[in-house]
Amino acid sequence: MTHDDVYLSFLPLAHILDRANEEYFFRKGASVGYYHGDLNALRDDIQELKPTFLAGVPRVFERIHEGIRKALQELNPRRRLIFYALYKYKLAWMNRGYSHSKASRMADFIAFKKV
């Protein structure tokens, strides 16, 4: 955890997991952003804040996953193939111990800037 990390808080503020995460981020000097209060607008908050950490409930993660899958299905097959190849490439570097931001900046630039 560094001062460059961003936590997007969308759990209720009284939720113990959210409170613990916020305290940890504040202690490390990282940023904490709060969503607008509407889960349907969570996508806009994610695009604006570009969080490096999310703690939530399965319902929210399923919604995020479904949005990404829907966007991938709308791509033409060649672009979809390129996306999956870059995904596997970046994941391989992350499995070798590289952080998310340093695993493959090329893949981030080509495929993941919208995700």
Does pTM top 0.75 for this prediction? no
Looking at the fold, whether 63 and 10 belong to one and the same domain comes out as yes
Residue 36 sits at φ, ψ, to 5 deg, of -70, -15
The pLDDT assigned to 26 comes to: 92
Looking at the fold, whether 14 and 24 belong to one and the same domain comes out as yes
Looking at the fold, whether 68 and 92 belong to one and the same domain comes out as no
Looking at the fold, whether 100 and 81 belong to one and the same domain comes out as yes
Looking at the fold, whether 107 and 54 belong to one and the same domain comes out as no
For 11, the domain range is 1-74
The pLDDT assigned to 14 comes to: 83
Q: Looking up tokens 């509407």, which residue turns up?
A: 38
Domain count for the chain, please give it.
2
The pLDDT assigned to 77 comes to: 93
What is the H or E stretch that residue 96 is in?
Answer: none
Three-state DSSP state, 3: coil
Question: CA 100 to CA 79: how far, in whole Å?
Answer: 22
Looking at the fold, whether 83 and 43 belong to one and the same domain comes out as no
Looking at the fold, whether 15 and 56 belong to one and the same domain comes out as yes
